[in-house]
Amino acid sequence: MNKHLPQPYFSRVVRAIIEFDMLKDGDKVLVGLSGGKDSLFLTYALAVLKDIAPLKFELGAFTLDPMFTDDFDPAPLVEFCTRLGIPFATEKANIAGIIDNNHGKDPCFTCAFFRRGAVNGFAKQHGYNKVALAHHHDDAVETFYMGLLYAGHLKTFTPVTYLSRTNLTVIRPLVYFREREIRETVALHGLTPLASPCPMNGKTKRQEIKDRIAALEQVDPDFYSHLAAAMRGGKPIELWPGELPRDELKAKHDAFWRPDKKPPSC
């Protein structure tokens, strides 16, 4: 397969890898390949880089069948990875059944948890030290906004995440790509993305956040860019201090109303 990335795409992949120290000589990298547009592009981009980068790293791809349907066919992904010259593996995990029995729990959280476990478990078993995931810039901004609206915290995933329990490092080389740009990359690698088997596709909290951001951008075209700027460190931050524990607050309360009372000794 004649692999090629146009310079604007190549530059952003390389920028992320260099800026966040994602790759080192001798790494063995496993791509979580779902078959969607993002993971297909990530697999292709890393295969291109593998051929020309001055450092040497191994690359493989892994697909998990969550058994949401009974007709999952990995053949297109097998052929795709064969053309790229990288090993491919797939396994089944009955995540659909787990979700059905997890009454009342967030199905998206459950699915993501077991998907991560399967990918990381395969990586450990087969000697990979890094797992590459296809999260892009929109994913990071949406996660940041979701945390603010639904959990009351300012947090998102990082471009590089070290997992101390497994001694694996998760890398996200697409963090400088907008989702709309990745939609246009099918013409580069030639494989039509597989349809998502997820029964919640298009009906998740993340989709709600996508829709909210799009609506707010209609009112303020800078809304997304301001969210993205707030997500980065080094920006001016003025926040209230954290809430005091109940015992500390009581001690301050007592000291205010009874200033003659000596505070408890430490």
Q: 48-52, 69-73, 221-225: which range is least confident on average?
A: 69-73
Q: Is the pLDDT of residue 221 over 60?
A: yes
Write down the pLDDT at residue 93.
83
> Averaged over 222-241, what is the pLDDT?
90
Q: How many other C-beta atoms lie within 10 A of the C-beta of residue 72?
A: 16
Asked whether residue 48 carries a pLDDT value surpassing 70, the answer given is yes
Q: Is the pLDDT of residue 179 over 90?
A: yes
Residue 17 vs residue 237, higher pLDDT: 17
Between CA 189 and CA 182 the distance in angstroms is: 12
pLDDT class of 2 with cuts at 50, 70, 90: confident
Q: What's the pTM value of the predicted model, to 2 decimals?
A: 0.89
The model's pLDDT over 183-214, given as tens digits with 9 standing for 90+, comes to: 999 999 999 999 887 766 667 888 999 999 99
Report pLDDT for 266.
Answer: 46
- At 103 the pLDDT is 59
What is the C-alpha separation between 139 and 208, in angstroms, rounded?
Answer: 13
Q: Closest Cα to residue 23, out of 51, 46, 6?
A: 46
**The CATH homologous superfamily of the domain defined by 7-231:** HUPs (3.40.50.620)
**Tokens at 245, concatenated:** 């524990």
The confidence band for 104, taking pLDDT boundaries of 50, 70 and 90, is low
